[in-house]
Amino acid sequence: MRIFDPHIHMTSRTTDDYRAMYDAGVRALVEPSFWLGQPRTAPASFFDYFDALLGWEPFRASQYGIAHHCALALNPKEANDPRCVPVLDALPRYLVKDSVVAVGEIGYDSMTPAEDIALATQLQLAADHGLPALVHTPHRDKLAGLHRTIDVIRESHLPPERVLLDHLNETTVKDATDSGCWAGFSIYPDTKMDEDRMVTILRTYGTEKIIVNSAADWGRSDPLKTRDVADAMLKAGFTEDDVDQVLWRNPVAFYGQSGRLQLDVDAPDPLHEGNSILRGGE
Ligand SMILES: [Zn+2]
């Protein structure tokens, strides 16, 4: 079984997670940029983070046989902080990098005017750079947030087939799929979506343009939730080909629109800028 996790924050995970993910079948992933769990105070904080997503984190992933790509953006929460907004001016020089396969995650958090501007600006950046966009839907007021998100996408130059609407659930899946965008589901250990509810959605809506991720970060989350969905699908009677479509071919097709996916992990370099993941004496 081969698994592509299209949304996971490996910066906040350990090398044990990389090992367990490889053992579960994960061979590729996309790490979207997001906040730090505490406020950033300057654009320079983004630049170091973006550089880590472009350098150190792909190096770590390669040590475990996993291909690492990233999506870069000003995230919805920090779009409200005037100290962070200038990062929008610097994004174009990062979006041309080889392993950037999308703009993301963008979208709404509290649905403020500042978030309107950041979302529209970054959808345009995606269109300008020939990239897809990973669009987070808000955790509160889900349906209203989805409708407002879809309106902004319709007004943008980015076609819906280049947009992945993420963090969907039973209340938002229908309108999301009707919009022509890809539908993303984050599977969590105890809240929001779980693997059995996901199987029900797949039974109802089919396996086309549906994408499943763990969205694992430093909060309560599980980087093996993609594998749990695959196992739940098989148990429910889906075929191995169905599983391959949802867990591999769909995310490959979506992010492949960037023209930048590199799914083979070559023999990993022993060092990244003089540093390894080993500890002294090993
Ligand atoms: Zn995320």
Query: According to the 3-state scheme, what is the secondary structure of the chain?
Result: CCEEECCCCHHHCCHHHHHHHHHHCEEEEEEECCCCCCCCCCHHHHHHHHHHHHCHHHHHHHCCCCEEEEEECCCCHHHHCCCCCCHHHHHHHHHCCCCEEEEEEEECCCCCHHHHHHHHHHHHHHHHCCCCEEEECCCCCHHHHHHHHHHHHHHCCCCHHHEEEECCCCCCHHHHHHCCCEEEEEECCCCCECHHHHHHHHHHHCCCCEEEECCCCCCCCCCCHHHHHHHHHHHCCCCHHHHHHHHHHHHHHHHHCCCCCCCCCCCCCCCECCECCCCCCC
pLDDT for 150 equals 98
**Ligand 1 center from residue 105 Cα (angstroms):** 7
| pLDDT for res 187 | 96
**Residue entry with tokens 């947030």:** 145
pLDDT of residue 268: 81
Pick the CATH number of 3-256 from 1.10.10.10, 3.40.50.2300, 3.20.20.140, 3.20.20.210: 3.20.20.140
Q: Is the dihedral of CA 261, 263, 266, 271 positive or negative?
A: positive
Q: Among 224, 180, 241, 205, which residue's Cα sits nearest to residue 29?
A: 224
Distance 106 CA to ligand 1 centre (A): 10
Answer whether 119's CB lies under 8 Å from 80's CB. Answer: no
Separation of CA 92 and ligand 1 centre (Å): 21
Domain boundaries, the chain: 3-256
How far is CA 105 from its chain centroid?
A: 7
Q: What is the pLDDT along the chain (282 residues), one digit of tens a residue?
A: 999 999 999 999 999 999 999 999 999 999 999 999 899 999 999 999 999 999 999 999 999 999 999 999 999 999 999 999 999 999 999 999 999 999 999 999 999 999 999 999 999 999 999 999 999 999 888 999 999 999 999 999 999 999 999 999 999 999 999 999 999 999 999 876 899 999 999 999 999 999 999 999 999 999 999 999 999 999 999 999 999 999 999 999 999 999 999 999 877 888 888 888 887 655
Distance in angstroms (rounded) separating the CA atoms of residues 202 and 109: 27
Place of tokens 């020089």: 93
Label residues 93-119 b or e (16+ Cβ within 10 Å = b). Answer: ebbeeebbbbbbbbbbbebeeebeebb
Neighbours of ion ligand 1 (CB under 5 A): 34, 215
State in Å: Cα 127 to ligand 1 middle: 21
Give residue 135 CA to ligand 1 midpoint distance, Å. Answer: 10
Which pLDDT score, from 0 to 100, does residue 270 have?
84
**Residues in the chain, how many?**
282
State in Å: Cα 134 to ligand 1 middle. 10
- In angstroms, what is the span from residue 164 Cα to ligand 1's centroid? 13
